[in-house]
Amino acid sequence: MIRLFAILIGLVFSGVALLSFGVGAYTFATEEHEPTAEHEFHLAPKDVAYSFDGPFGKWDKVQLQRGYKVYKEVCAACHSLKFVSFRDLADLGYSEAQVKALAAEWQVPGIDPDTGEATLRPGLPTDRFPLVYPNDVAARAANNNAIPPDLSLMTKARHDGTNYVHSLLIGYADPATYKNAEGKSLAQEFPEFSTPPGLNFNPYFANLNLAMAAPIAADGQVTYDDGTTATVDQMATDVAAFLTWTAEPKMQQRKQTGTWFILFLLFATTLAYFSYKNIWAGKKPKKGSSE
């Protein structure tokens, strides 16, 4: 009885699923499939080699310092870093005094000790990086209705985030003359594609048009303290490295700890294997499996 019911129910569910399939397949076969510009011209981020790649990767502190400078001078005008504290900058190789001086370069919200009113004061190492806009409404109002996202976790919040940040920063192009790697011209393939005023064309952005204008526009926009030539690509690479650090400051520690864990486990598991074989010796026939 139960089996009859089951067969009936099974046939109903699979029948309805197949019905959905039939209708879907019919629609799929009869419908026109227009390729979209987003599908044809969206690019996966370019691969860039970083010192922190791989299981033994380490931060390049000088690069992170350069990246911090790019963030401060370019990104920070619109993008906050709200989960990062100034004290965290010690990870970049700054001394305690340097961290204090760096923090003091920022204005953070404070309270006037006499009136209790909101005011601004220089940052302390214990403070977080300040918000750029007091709220989303203000952020939208100042940025053509687009909210500049917080960058603390940006490289973890996007697929292949480090490369994505780098590619996006160097990827701006003119849609009228843009050709992809295969030489296909966007304007010819999709004549109706347009970049609305206030948006900017960038093939690394999911729908190809983003609100942010190219933030790193020219070589030498930032003057590096270590004498590195500040090409657009160099600045994009450095700030992507810096944002990888802000997203996961413990990455290097994670990989180093992991190496010890794995080495120990390999050792212990090898012992466990021999112990297992040892205990079972004599219980198993010399050849053949357990079946």
Partner 1 sequence: MADTTGTATPDMVAPETDATGDGVRRRDFINIAAVSAAGVGGIAVLYPLISQMAPSADVLAESTVEVDVSAIEPGQAIKAIFRKQPLFLRRLTDAEIAEADAVPLSDLRDPQSLEERTKAGQKAMLITMGVCTHLGCVPLGAAEGEARGEYGGYFCPCHGSHYDTAARIRKGPAPTNLLVPDYEFNADGTVVTVG
Partner 2 sequence: MSFPWANHYEPQNPLMKWVDEKLPLPRLVYNAVGAGYPVPRNLNYMYNFGVLAGFCLVLQIVTGVILAMHYAPNALVAFGSTEHIMRNVNWGWMLRYMHANGASFFFLVLYLHIFRGFYYGSYKAPREMIWLLGVVIFLLCMATAFMGYVLPWGQMSFWGAKVITGLFGAIPLVGEPLQIWLLGGYAPDNAALNRFFSLHFLLPFVIAGVVILHIWALHIPGSTNPTGVEVKKESDTVPFHPYYTAKDGFGLGVFLILYCLFVFFMPNALGHPDNYIEANPLSTPALIVPEWYFYPFYAILRAFTFDFILTAQLWGVLAMFSAILMWFFLPWLDRSPVRSASYRPLYRIFFWVLMVDMAALFYLGGAHAEEPYIMFSQLATAYYFLHFLVIVPIVSSIERPKPLPYSITEAVLGKDDDAQLGATVAAKA
Phi and psi of 210, rounded to 5°?
A: -125, 160
Of 110, 125, 130, 149, the residue at the interface with partner 1 (CB under 8 A) is 125
Nearer to partner 2, 31 or 182 (CB): 31
Task: Choose, by CB under 8 A, the member of 82, 87, 140, 158 that binds partner 1.
Answer: 87
Q: How far is the CB of 264 from partner 2 (least distance, A)?
A: 9
Q: Which range in 38-46, 158-166, 178-186, 280-288 contacts partner 1 by CB under 8 A? A: 280-288
Q: For residues 116 and 283, which CB has a smaller minimum distance to partner 2 in the complex?
A: 283
d(CA 242, CA 102): 16
Stretch 126-145 residues interacting with partner 1 (CB under 8 A): 126
Return the one option of partner 2, partner 1, none that residue 233 interacts with (CB less than 5 to 8 A, by type).
Answer: none
> Quick one: what does residue 281 bind among partner 2, partner 1, none, with the CB cut-off 5 to 8 Å set by partner type?
partner 1
What residues does 210 pair with on adjacent strands? 200
Does position 282 interact with partner 1 (CB under 8 A)? The reply is yes
**Residues comprising the chain, all counted:** 291
Based on the shown chain and the rule CB under 8 A, indicate whether residue 42 belongs to the binding site for partner 2.
no
**Binding flag, residue 263, partner 1 (CB under 8 A):** no
* Residue 140 binding partner per list partner 1, partner 2, none, with a CB distance cut-off of 5 to 8 Å that depends on partner kind: none
**DSSP SS3 for 4:** helix
The β-bridge partners of 68 are none
Query: Pseudo-torsion of CA 34, 35, 37, 42, nearest 10°?
Result: 160
| Contact of residue 126 among partner 2, partner 1, none (CB under 5-8 Å per partner type) | partner 1
Distance between CA 218 and CA 231 in Å, rounded? 7
Residue 17 sits in the site that holds partner 2 (CB under 8 A): yes
255, with CB counted inside 10 A (0-12, 13-18, 19+), is middle
Among 280, 288, 289, 290, binds partner 1 (CB under 8 A): 280
Q: Does 218 bind partner 1 (CB under 8 A)?
A: no
Task: Count CB-CB contacts under 10 A for residue 154.
Answer: 22
DSSP-assigned states of every residue in 7-72: HHHHHHHHHHHHHHHHHHHHHHHHS--PPPHHHHH--PPPP---TT-STT----HHHHHHHHHHHH
Q: Which single residue is written with the structure tokens 């039939």?
A: 22
Give the Cα separation of 239 and 247 in Å (integer): 12
What SS3 class is residue 16? helix
Q: Which residues are registered as beta bridge partners of 118?
A: 111
108 has which bridge partners?
A: 121
Q: In this complex, which beta carbon is closest to partner 2, that of residue 97 or of residue 280?
A: 280
User: CA–CA separation, 155 vs 168, rounded Å?
Assistant: 12
Bridge partner residues of 85 (DSSP): 128
Pick from partner 2, partner 1, none: which does 122 bind, CB < 5 to 8 A by kind?
none
Residue ranges in contact with partner 1 by CB under 8 A: 85, 87, 125-126, 264-265, 267-268, 271-272, 274-275, 277-282, 284, 286
Residue ranges in contact with partner 2 by CB under 8 A: 2-3, 6-7, 9-11, 13-21, 23-25, 28, 55, 83, 88, 149-150, 152-153, 156-159, 161, 206, 247-250, 253-255, 257-259, 261-262, 265-266, 268-269, 272-273, 275-276, 278-280, 283-285, 288-291
